[in-house]
Amino acid sequence: MRLLLVGDIVGSPGRKALCEYLPRIKRAKRPDLIVVNGENAADGRGITRAIAGEFFGMGVDGITLGNHTWDKREIFDFIDDEPRIVRPANYPEGTPGQGYTHLRFSRGELVVISLMGRTFLSSLECPFRTADAILKSLKENVPVLVDFHAETTSEKQALAWYLDGRVSAVIGTHTHVQTADERILPGGTAYLTDVGMVGPYDGILGMDKDLIVKRFLTQLPVRFEVATGKVQLNAVLLDLDPATGMASDIRRIRIDDDHPWFD
């Protein structure tokens, strides 16, 4: 089975880029399931019901989130009713929404788990133990994709090694920059430190670069805005063995002005 994971989609430029490129990627690569990280989809902060619907309308099967999950207040109105959206599973008990979900397609199913790192982020439950608990509840050999939304490379690599052989893939999100370290760990788990983002190519993490540079220079509060102009799309393609759930291939996708997509 083939799985496409698309990184943090930033604002309307990100949604437009997805709309433009997803059909072409689908035609060329024929993924069985498509998962996107939607934490920045609405103006760079959070997601709305309408935008989630937009994604599902494009053929997206599941949406993961991250530290920006709650930025649009309407999330509290719909997250409990939408089983295809997952927020980090290591938020404390009682948090709205769900931390993992089962996605089904004609020939099988996939469990998608969202987890968030704690280093330089929120004081959540231990992501390692949360993963253990979820995996324990699943039936054996089901393919499992972990979107690990974390800041540091050390926490990301640590979770990947910890879960090696127990999940199909650990793919990082959050830094908005694709890393070049895709590999299959010895136990069969595909790993990529960060899948990168979808949205403006000439911004800083998708946001207007002048505003962010200004903030670094002045240390004054600056209201960030999504950048405009050219776009980029970063994603990763995973081939999983449906019998064992383990990965047989991992390939990065990078589309931008310097790396145009050819059908």
* Residues with catalytic roles: 68
CA atoms of 61 and 125, how far apart (whole Å)? 27
Site track for a second copy across 92-111, x = CB under 8 A: x-xx----------------
Minimum distance, C-beta of residue 116 to Fe ion, in the bound complex (Å)? 8
In angstroms, the Cα distances linking 86 to 64, 72, 105, 132, 241 are 5, 15, 18, 17, 24
Give me 80's structure tokens. 């409990």
Total chain residues near a second copy (CB under 8 A): 55
Minimum distance, C-beta of residue 121 to Fe ion, in the bound complex (Å)? 8
Is 58 near a second copy (CB under 8 A)? Answer: no
**Helix (H), strand (E) at residue 249:** strand 247-255
- According to CB under 5 A, which one of 143, 174, 178, 193 is a site residue for Fe ion? 174
Q: Cβ–Cβ contacts within 10 Å for residue 239, how many? A: 16
Paired residues of 34 in beta bridges = 4
Do residues 22 and 59 make contact, with C-beta atoms less than 8 angstroms apart?
yes
Of 161 and 261, CB closest to a second copy: 161
Binding site for a second copy (CB under 8 A): 70-71, 91-92, 94-95, 118-120, 122-126, 128-129, 151-155, 157-159, 161-162, 175-181, 183-184, 186, 193-194, 196, 202, 204-205, 209, 212-213, 216-221, 252, 254, 256, 258
